[in-house]
Structure 1
């Protein structure tokens, strides 16, 4: 961190309610190391206003995965993701910090706050949908088994995404399947008359890695820049959110679209 670096620390209200002591520790560590402005919003609207008024200050969000996703979404809609690195101190209820952990953020308030001060910016991929929503990570779609996390050597450049359809169709043996039309870069992978158990998508190396799992058959894998899923009204799960019913959704992979401050030393990287 340079001598002139200034921080805007936005403390999510859920973090204050769930673990006030860890919030206090994080604020103390950050304030001792840099010129820091602390914001304590009480609503998503106040959160958004505080972030919009950051000026030249580097944003630091103190909160859970939902607070991190909200911050990235707001910066994306400002078209400001490429203008600087974001930092996060993960504080929240058990189970609400899986995304931050997968991205490589330390889980203790002290270690995470020190990474904000002493860490380096690492590029992460992103999936953006045709409704201008963003997806940072995820594990399962439908009834699929979890997609393995990237190896530590590649975790800096990998942000995973999850899409789970809930348009379920009964099949033989009680197996839950989904009738969907799946297209990757305009190439038809699966049509409505070919049910699938699940569709798994993650952003990997700047492209979307797509895995289709047909019933009682080996999975089908491909890579694409864009993925379109359509069919009868279906819902999908991405990060910590479940969508309203939709009939069509397209996701586009964007390589190195945002930066996250993580522990480590500067190093040469293809993503840089």
Structure 2
């Protein structure tokens, strides 16, 4: 790891882009972070009103080190932007996590308190982290999951909360014609999973869930099947999943349905400023 480079006058040059959602949800933490950063660096603050302004501010950072203030979605948006512009390798990114969800930031080693996170920006060190990139140029910073399918509600079961209107319309239709019997959906997928071209699971073996995580320069694959209590595990640089339409959760985002997707691990593809001495995941 290497410490952030100071400017010639001794002060770090930072571009701090503050997500509008963070300003609305926790203005006090944003103010505290601004005070700490201003006390230790030469800071230019940007307050974009939306994604387009956010992207423009980041693109115009010049030689200043980018610092984003926001939640996990802000971090994901920033890394995705830098990846699309092929700018991830240009320098370390820093984050002050403020907002609704900061679990991804915490898992990467970023402090979640405003003061501690801002001090880590000033005094921390840049750590190289792996990146999963899919064949549609999407990125995954933490875990990729294909969860089990939800089972359908059995006939006669009570409706879930929030579906009262749907239930009322169903009752009206019942007065007109009988409601056909609905079979319960299976809770497993029919998926073909390959790691570096090696077949781990084929379509004839039902899958209850798949997880892909970047771990120390490799992609760790865990497959839970319908037939075995022990998961199938593998380590690879490329993972391909195909089969019937499936959805997947990449960090905080749910994507799909898709029929095939390949994820490729890029070791050390980006840098994140973390507290000095922080251990790897």
TM-score for both structures, normalised by structure 1:
0.84
1:190 is matched with which residue?
A: 201
List aligned pairs for 1:1-272, cutoff 5 A. 1=4, 2=6, 3-93=10-100, 96-137=101-142, 161-164=143-146, 176-217=187-228, 218-265=230-277
- CA RMSD in angstroms, aligned pairs only: 2.1
TM-score for both structures, normalised by structure 2:
0.81
Which runs of 5 or more residues in structure 2 are unaligned?
153-183
Dislocated runs of 4+, deviation >2 Å: 165-170
SS in 1 for 2:226: coil
1:157 is matched with which residue?
A: none
Cα contact 1:183–1:229 (8 A) shared by 2 = yes
Cα contact 2:149–2:187 (8 A) shared by 1 = no
Separation in structure 2 between the aligned mates of residue 7 and residue 64 of structure 1, nearest angstrom: 19
Which runs of 5 or more residues in structure 1 are unaligned?
138-160
Q: Deviations over 1:192-243 (max 9, x none)?
A: 1111111111011111111111124111111111000011111111111111
Count of residues in correspondence between the two structures: 241
Q: Cα distance, 1:29 vs. partner? A: 0.9
Which one has the largest radius of gyration?
Answer: 2
Q: Deviations over 1:10-39 (max 9, x none)?
A: 000110011000001101111111111100
